[in-house]
Amino acid sequence: MLSGLDHLVVTVTDMGRAVDFYSRVLGLDVRYRDAQRVDLMLGDTALRLHQTDTDIAPISATPTPGSLDLCLRCQLPLDEFKQHLDALAIDVELGPVARQGANGPIESIYLRDPDGNLLEICRPASR
């Protein structure tokens, strides 16, 4: 029946700050849909940003900045990605640590976006 994820809405308090973080820190491509919606592309899937003070309908029952816990796959070795974060003065909360991903063992690091959302950045575990 279902075949994948098209987009996931991320509620943010400051659109410009969120776009800067996700594009500069995480390297996502930015697509402006209109004045109130921005898509951050992950391959053929989008993180769609909605700012808290906009009137977009329909929305979730309780759209709350900082409530997201999201795991994103990384193409770089995590040590290289961590060096990138260090160069940008982005704090890593935890990792690298071993975890279980959707398709098997992964190694992950954890950080937060400007709204406090928890972002897990992962790679398949070395065997």
Contact 120, 104 (CB under 8 A): no
Task: Check 80, 93, 107, 120 and give the catalytic one.
Answer: 120
How does 56-85 read in b/e, with b if 16+ C-beta sit within 10 Å?
eeeeeeeeebeebeeeeebeeebeebbeeb
Strand, coil or helix: what is 62?
Answer: coil
Contact 8, 49 (CB under 8 A): no
Q: Is 80 a catalytic residue?
A: no
Both structure tokens of 98: 């071993």
Please list the active-site residues.
120
